[in-house]
A and B are shown apart, each in its own frame.
Chain A
């Protein structure tokens, strides 16, 4: 069973100063209320039901991954990771696709609401765990981390920006058009997505969030599940790992 989160564990710092910030007092009040009753809980629950009914639940998942059900939370906290029989460093969503195919079912699109729900549920199995990504475990994860870091640092697109242009340590906390730039490690981005995105009124995943930043900053939006996206997820997750952030799914974001 998925561990339920204490709403307090979700208390992320919300800039408290006045009008200048994108979050108004009314927004903040709504945010507080949602912390106690995250609208995404229902999606996560639904994801659990789909996993149970269509793929055989946690038992089947554990078996597919070659671990016991008891080991599952810690193992999930190590994603993205190299899965030998899949031949790549993959995200949880790609594991679920492979399970579907192995069971003769149609694979669910990575960018679908159904997949976001299942992914959120499976990652929530690791709630309260710290990340266990070992980037030295094998050459594959090492390469994925390096690719992720490179992708993060690469300036491109219509404005010549990289992720690092806005998220480097010397610039976090500064204001980009009314929005304080978050330190992706300190806000535990890797540990708090999938999350309910208030401005989008829906459940979004980490890779979907990356796409949002790419679109806003005019970087060509790359597809979910690509090696570069998985690498970015590895990189961002290790930032949360360094800050010893516990996994807390679903998150709640502005």
Chain B
């Protein structure tokens, strides 16, 4: 073999072997790492908000109390058993699709009259009217605010936020307030 060819062959080997390490495939994009930051951004909870008990709240209205009871004891329209009370839909349209309406599932954390598998993360709301309303320890404004946005009187609350998140509207928060404050059997 001619010297120059030998040299060429040698240098090719050198180049080839270095290129393997120099141009080893870039692995920084070889796996999935989907972006979640924008999803979380859009999902964030708004600032604590003060709400005033609406004048339209009818705390003695039996239909309102029945709706509140239904919201309190059920997670969502798909899981809810029995007929929905007057004025409540189990399924709603969202972006053109039929979706189960989300309810309060308050019973997950609170015991109350008739609770099935009630939790104990929040205080027991049994006998609420007699123990707290009649004794003037609590009033409708307090209960309404607590259910709407509990952070106003407890910034570190473990309770769900129900109006600031738009999970419920004002009239539905009235229903829940009415139910909690009502006399139950």
Residues of A within 8 A of B (CB): 20, 85-88, 90, 94-95, 97-98, 101-102, 107, 109-110, 151, 154-161, 165-166, 168, 171, 174-178, 181, 218-220, 222-223, 225-230
Contact = CB atoms under 8 A, between A and B. Distances in A.
Nearest to A83: B27
A90 B31 contact: yes
A228 B36 contact: yes
Given A97-B31, A171-B158, A176-B109, 20 more contacts: A20-B117, A86-B27, A88-B33, A90-B33, A94-B33, A155-B45, A159-B162, A160-B161, A160-B162, A165-B158, A168-B158, A171-B121, A177-B117, A222-B39, A222-B40, A226-B35, A226-B36, A227-B33, A229-B36, A230-B33
A110 B32 contact: yes
B120 to A, nearest CB: 5
18 contacts: A85-B27, A101-B30, A101-B31, A107-B30, A107-B31, A154-B40, A157-B165, A158-B167, A168-B158, A171-B121, A175-B119, A176-B119, A177-B105, A178-B119, A220-B43, A222-B39, A223-B36, A227-B33
B182 interface: no
A174 B119 contact: yes
A181 B31 CA distance: 34
A176 B121 contact: yes
Interface of B: 25, 27-28, 30-37, 39-40, 42-45, 102, 105, 107-109, 117-121, 158, 160-162, 164-165, 167
Contacts of B34: 223, 225-226
B158 A97 contact: no
Nearest to B160: A159
A90 B34 CA distance: 12
Contacts of B162: 159-160
B94 to A, nearest CB: 12
A166 B36 contact: no
Contacts of B118: 177
Nearest to A110: B32
A42 to B, nearest CB: 26
A177 B45 CA distance: 24
